[in-house]
Structure formats: C-alpha cells, structure tokens
Chains A and B, each alone.
Chain A
Amino acid sequence: MWRFVIRRCGQALVTLLLLSAIVFFMFRLLPADPTAAMVDAALSPEQIAELKAEFGLDKPLAVQYGLYLKNILLKGDFGTSFFYKQPALKILGDKILNTLILSLAAILVAYTVGSILGALMAWYRGSAGEVAGIVVGLVFRAAPEFWVGMVFVMLFAYGLGWLPHSGMREAGYVAESLAAKYLSLDFLRHLILPATVAALHMLSTPMLLLRNAMLEVRREEYVELAHAKGLPLRRIIFRHAARNAMLPVVTSLATAIGRSVGGMVLVEYVFSWPGLGREIVLAATRYDFPVAQAAFLMIAGLIMVMNILADLLYGYLDPRIVYK
C-alpha cells in the first residue's frame, strides 16, 4: 500500500511541476512586459535590481523558471505580492486551510446526503419522491453555484435572518489557538450556507450514481440467492450490495474534488469566504501576479492531495485493486 501512496505522490509532484511550468510561461508570455510577473514597477531601482538578481530576470526564460522553482522548493518563496508588499506565501498561508475546510465540508455533505438520497430513491423506485429527487438534483446541478448562493443569502440570511450573510467569523473575535478559531460555533454558523450551496451543486452526481448502481445490484445473482436463502432484502442490499455500489460513487469523487475546489472560487466570492479562490480573484483584479501564480499552484496542489486521499479511500473499499 505504501508503494502506491509513494507512487501517487510522485505522480502528483510531476504534475505540479509541469503545472508550475505552464503557469510560469503563461504569466510571462502573455502580458506585454515579461518582467511584470515578478517585478512591481513601483519599486525603487535598488529593489528592482535585487529582485532581478534573485529571479534572474535578465536571463533566458528557462533559467528564470529554474530559479523560480528553486526559490519555491528551497525557500518557500513564491515572490512578493505587488499589492500587499509582503511574501505571497504569508498572504496565502492561512487561506489554504479555509478553502480546504470549506471544500471538505461541501464534499462530505454532498456525498453523504447524496448517497443516502440515492439509496432511498433506489429503494422507493417509481415513487413521486424519486422523480422529485431527480428533478431537484438536476435543477441544482444546472443552476450556477453563485446564483444559488445569492438566492440562499437572500432567503436565509436577509429574509429569515437565520444565518450570517458573509465572512468566516464575526468581527472582533478573540481566538487563541487554531482549534479555538475553527471549532467555534461562530465559525460553524458561517460555514453552513456556503458549504450547503456548494454541496447542493454536487449532490446529484453521487445521488444518481448510487441510485443506478443500487438498481443494478438488485438484479445481481448473489442478491437473489441470498434472498432465496431467507435473508431480508434490506439487509442484503445495505450490507453487501451497498459497498460495491459505492465504488462508482467514490470514483466520481476524484472529478468532484477537482470541480469542487476549482469551483469554490465562486462560492468564496459570493460569501466573502477568505480562501484561496477569493484571493485568486482579488489578485487577478489587481494584477498582483505573484499572488495569482502562487494561489493557482496551491489550488492545484490542494486538489492533488485530495485526489490521493480519494484514491486511498477507493482502495480501502475495494481491496481487489492491485497496487502496482
């Protein structure tokens, strides 16, 4: 199993490396001034000279890329934000956790609720509830996340006043430890709406997949056999069949993670959730290239980590997989 993990991590690193190259060249080949990516024209000549030396901006692009990578891998230096005048990593550091928590919460809700609904729909085949479930699921998949976000804010935050309309915490909070910051009721209240909006968007996939899989499973021979032996149908399905039916659901998790974290940009924007997604929008608006580059790489990195975890989950569910 460990060989599998190492191999997957290796793959992820290679992909990240290639991605960093793509991003690097994108930022340098597209704007008019190639040095604009790292050097803020507003700096003093001495500072510009210093930065140029550090990133080798007078050397060929390939060498620059090497220096860029070296700075990231050895020093954790993603460049200095043009806007904040601070290291990009410092700006983005705690945002990673915020996005991770929101994504995990959304995926958790989507997949657990979605799976349960899918199973129920398979069970109550042909009922009005099943049709309603399909339609509702599809509607939320069709509706853009940001729009659902706006509507929910309208209804639940302003209309009913049950939940906060934006942000991650109330202003003026006092929090000593990381745990106190994230495990507070205030934080959870702020988490509910954005996580729900994101979850609703993803819900239909696991729901329909599980439903289809369960319906197919019902027809399988071993189910009939067990039923003939006298075991209650419900127990058969939920104990034996569900586990296998989960496999396609977990497979879909990989794509879902990618779309969720990437799409989290929209939810973060609507709810002013201080995460990587919102930061990349702000950075792009401000032409703050170092931060935009860094945020992009971090988002990609986050997706990869979560994909590896999803693969592990898949492996746990289906031990038949041979880890080469």
Chain B
Amino acid sequence: MDRFVFLTLDGLSRGAVYAAFALALVLIWRAARVVNFAQGAMAVAAAYVAYSVASTTGSYWLGFVVALAAGLLLGAIVDRAVMRYVDHASPLNPVIVALGLVLLIQAVLGMIYGSEFRPAEAPFSRGAFTVGGLAVLSPYDLFVFGAVAVVVCALAWIFARTAVGLRMRAAAFAPEVSRLLGVNVGGMLTLGWALASGVGALAAMLVIPTELGLHPHAMDLVFVSAFTAAVVGGLDSPPGAVVGGLIVGLLLSYVSGYAGSDLTPLAVLVLLLAVLLVRPGGLFAPVAARRV
C-alpha cells in the first residue's frame, strides 16, 4: 500500500508536467492545425536562456521569467519567420518543417553550450515531506502542481472570458469569417504560437530539474510522453490534455514500479490503442464529430 501511494504521487507530479506540455501542443493544434514537433527543442532553447541568465545574475526567478518571455518570443518568431510561409495544403509540410527546426535548434544549442549536461536548479527543495515514515510530495512537487494549475486556469480564463481569447477561437475556427469581421487572423495565429511556446517553456523549466539535466535533447522523451497524453485526451481539448497528462504520468509510474521500466513503451501503446479504438478522437473528443 505504501508503495502504491508513493508511485501514485510520483506519477502525478510527473503527469502534471506532461499535462502542461500536452497543453502547449493542444494550443497550437487548435490555432493552426499543426502538431508542433519542434515544441521540445523550442522549450529547451528557452530553458538554456534561463540557464544563462540565472548563472550570470545568480537569480533563479529572473531566469524563470526570462525563460517564459523567451518562449513567447521564440513561438512568435517561429510562426512569423517560418511557419507562415509553409504551404499548409498538406498537413505533413509543417510537420517536416518542425522536424527541420528540431535539428537546427538542437545543433545550435550544441554549438553554443556543448553536449554536456548542465545542472538545472530547482527553486524549492526536492526532499520529500515524510508522513508516517512514508515519503510523500516535496515542496518542489507542490510548486509544479501550482504552476500547472495556474497556467490551466489562466488559459481557460483567456479563452472563455476575454475578447482576445474569443478572437483567437474565432480565428482558428473560421478564419475567413473572422477576417470579414475585422479580426486580425494572422496576429491571432502568432499569439497562439507564442502562448503555446510560452507554456512549453514553462513545462521545460518544471521538468528539466527532475531529469538528467539541461541538454539539447532534454525534452525528446518528454515530447513523446506529452504527445501521447495530448492524443489520449483529444488534441482539440485542453481539459483532455490535462487529464491525458496525468493518466500517462500515472501509467509510466505504475508500470516501472510494478512491472519493470523496459515495459513502459508497451504500456503506452496499449493505453493509446485501448483509448483510441473506443474513442478515435481521444477521450474528450466531441461526441457528435463525424468526419467527412
């Protein structure tokens, strides 16, 4: 029983990060109908910026803020400088461009910072509180939950309650009509990329201290898990991304804890098949969606 509680809490804290990263994927998918394979590399780039700032100024929080800003900026740049010019006639074209960006960003990071692991600082202790001899969550885990919760709520608020959010939804849902109604569709798209990239940067800042450290490839595996999470939840659904992230986090934790870590990829495949064969559009897909 102790082990079950331990694995559950460990899986949830990891799942929260997957949820944030999956949310970033969902944001871009909803805005631009693109699965952004460069999300991981872009987020790592932002985390490296934070590393540079934090190591020169000595302030984690300054680096943290700069990372979020760098994430927003990088998203806008990728949209304005590259994605805008991609022929979207085939949905594969942006995917290939994104993969090209992955290679480019990782290579540039490798040139600037080398391929060593850099220590990633955690702003709070990662030592767990013990309750009755059982290690439960650490202050850092609470910080992760809090940060992800704030982001989820903020995004929900932006999309549901603000004029900008309404315009963004309109621009994504019906670009032509929105343009006729005076919405700056291109600008909304850029804003969508920036927001998503900012959320991705946040996820990277949260997860890298719990992994091997800062490295050009630090988010590769997280990307795979987060993409799985987004697909399980349904790429059109932000709540789906959050639930999907938590499910994937728990699954990985239980399988490595009870069965062996080499079986985790198989478990992920089984989860995907089990969910998608019943609901081909993910858990939170609108029921009435009939594709033509």
Judge: A and B partners, yes or no.
no
